[in-house]
Amino acid sequence: MKNAMPATALIVEDEIFVALDLERILVDAGYAVKAIAADRDGAIDAARDCSFALVDINLRDGPTGPELARTLARDYGVKVVFRHRQSRTDRASQRGAWLCPQAVQRSGHPGGGGHCQRVGGG
């Protein structure tokens, strides 16, 4: 029986220590990490052959994460999980990530259009 290749991740995060932490977690879980990108251009350059991406909402080039997610899903077939750190003053119900198999926000919100599922949070 042939061993399957691990799913390949793209980490899109502008805070390097957070990105390295995510990389360690993914590698420990058996995933391959192709690249860490801090902005939209870096993510697009690395997107080919990635199975999924962890994408922060606010990147080095601004709040480009949602539009980047659309591009990754549409043009590269990459599944997207939004990753966004929120302040302690945010309500617990707003914490967590959105798992978006097709990474679309028809309503302009990560949970819009019925394509996304909330993971984590309260």
Mean pLDDT is lowest, of 9-23, 31-45, 72-86, 90-104, for 90-104
Cα–Cα dist 85/12, whole Å: 13
Q: Is the pLDDT of residue 112 over 60?
A: no
pLDDT per residue as tens digits for the range 54-77: 999 999 999 999 999 999 999 999
Going by C-alpha positions, the residue among 68, 13, 2 that lies closest to residue 38 is 13
Residue reference for tokens 């990753």: 83
pLDDT for 23: 95
Q: Is the pLDDT of residue 4 over 50?
A: yes
113 HSE (CA, 13 A, CB side): 16
Mean pLDDT computed over every residue of the chain: 77
pLDDT for 9: 96
pLDDT for 93: 39
pLDDT for 85: 65
Cα–Cα dist 112/114, whole Å: 6
0.75 cut: is pTM over it?
no
92 HSE (CA, 13 A, CB side): 1
pLDDT per residue as tens digits for the range 84-94: 765 444 444 34
